[in-house]
Amino acid sequence: MCGIVCYVGHQECSGIIMDGLSRLEYRGYDSAGIAVLHEGNIAVARQEGKLSGLVTRLNESPLPGKMGMGHTRWATHGRPSENNAHPHRVGSVVVVHNGIIENHLELRAELEREGAQFSSETDTEILAHLVSQTLSKEASLKDAVKRSLERIQGSYAIVVMNESSPDELIVAKNASPLVIGMGENEMFAASDVPAILKYTRDVMFMEDGEMARISQSGVELTKLDGTKVNREVKRITWSHIQAEKEGYKHFMLKEIHQQPTVIADTLRGRVSIEGSGVATELMGFDDATARRIRRIVLIACGTSYHAALVGKYWLEKLAQVPTEVELASEYRARDPLIDPNDLVIPISQSGETLDTMEAIKIAKAGAARILAITNVVDSAIPRASDGTLYTHAGPEIGVASTKCFTAQLAALYMLAVHLGRRRLTLTKDRARELLENLLRVPTLMNEVLKQEDRIKQIAQDMANSRDALFLGRGLSYPIALEGALKLKEISYIHAEGYAAGEMKHGPIALIDENMTVVVVMPNDDSLKRIVGNVQEVMARGGKVVGIVSESDVESASIEMERIIIPDCAPEISPLISVLPLQLLSYHVADFKGTDVDQPRNLAKTVTVE
Candidates 67, 66, 128; CA nearest to 96 is 128
Closer to ligand M6R by Cβ: residue 148 or 375: 375
Report DSSP letters for 148-211, one per residue.
Answer: HHHT--EEEEEEEEETT-TT-EEEEEEBS--EEEE-SS-EEEESSGGGTTTT-SEEEEPPTTEE
Q: How many CB atoms lie within 10 A of CB 525?
A: 10
Binders of ligand M6R among residues 308 to 327 (CB under 6 A) are none
Site string for ligand M6R, 108-147 (x = CB under 6 A): ----------------------------------------
Pick the catalytic residue: 142, 403, 543, 604? Answer: 604
CB of 531 to ligand M6R, least distance (A): 30
Task: Say if CB 295 and CB 324 are below 8 A apart.
Answer: yes
CB of 42 to ligand M6R, least distance (A): 34
Work out whether 301 is an interface residue with ligand M6R (CB under 6 A): yes
Task: Say if CB 19 and CB 198 are below 8 A apart.
Answer: yes
Closer to ligand M6R by Cβ: residue 155 or 356: 356
Closer to ligand M6R by Cβ: residue 221 or 252: 252
- CB half-sphere exposure, 196, CA atoms < 13 A: 31
CB of 544 to ligand M6R, least distance (A): 25
Site string for ligand M6R, 483-522 (x = CB under 6 A): ------x---------------------------------
Length of the chain, in residues:
609
Torsion sign (Cα): 328, 330, 334, 336: negative
Site string for ligand M6R, 257-296 (x = CB under 6 A): ----------------------------------------
Amino acid at 313: Y
CA 230 to each of CA 49, 212, 219, 233: distance values in angstroms, whole numbers, following the listed order: 39, 11, 10, 9
Closer to ligand M6R by Cβ: residue 205 or 586: 586
Closer to ligand M6R by Cβ: residue 349 or 491: 349
Q: Which residue minimizes CB distance to ligand M6R?
A: 302
**Distance in angstroms (rounded) separating the CA atoms of residues 389 and 372:** 6
Q: What is the 3-state secondary structure (H, E, C) of 496-519?
A: EEEEHHHHHHCHHHHCCCCCEEEE
Q: Which of 302, 394, 420, 507 binds ligand M6R (CB under 6 A)?
A: 302
Task: Say if CB 399 and CB 597 are below 8 A apart.
Answer: yes
Torsion sign (Cα): 360, 364, 365, 366: positive
Binders of ligand M6R among residues 336 to 395 (CB under 6 A) are 348-350, 353, 356
Q: Which of 124, 155, 165, 303 binds ligand M6R (CB under 6 A)?
A: 303
Report DSSP state, residue 24: T
Stretch that binds ligand M6R, among 177-185, 291-299, 300-308, 387-395 (CB under 6 A): 300-308
Site string for ligand M6R, 17-46 (x = CB under 6 A): ------------------------------
Is 385 strand, coil or helix? coil
Report DSSP letters for 216-248, one per residue.
Answer: TTEEEEEETT--B-----EE--S-GGGGS-TT-
Burial group, residue 461, by CB count within 10 angstroms (0-12, 13-18, 19+): middle
Pick the catalytic residue: 2, 301, 404, 568? Answer: 2
Closer to ligand M6R by Cβ: residue 276 or 303: 303
Closer to ligand M6R by Cβ: residue 127 or 359: 359
Closer to ligand M6R by Cβ: residue 260 or 302: 302
CB of 379 to ligand M6R, least distance (A): 9
Residue 568 bears catalytic tag: no
Site string for ligand M6R, 396-415 (x = CB under 6 A): ---xxx--------------
CB of 578 to ligand M6R, least distance (A): 12
Q: Which of 199, 206, 606, 607 binds ligand M6R (CB under 6 A)?
A: 606
Is 277 strand, coil or helix? strand
- CB half-sphere exposure, 299, CA atoms < 13 A: 33
Binders of ligand M6R among residues 439 to 468 (CB under 6 A) are none
- Binders of ligand M6R: how many residues, by CB under 6 A? 16
CB of 353 to ligand M6R, least distance (A): 3
Q: Name residues whose C-beta falls within 8 Å of residue 192's C-beta, 6 or more positions apart in sequence.
A: 3, 23, 24, 27, 177, 179, 376, 395
Candidates 297, 393, 322, 290; CA nearest to 351 is 393
Task: Give contact residues for ligand M6R (rule: CB under 6 A).
Answer: 301-304, 348-350, 353, 356, 399-401, 489, 602, 605-606
Q: Mind telling me the catalytic residues?
A: 2, 604
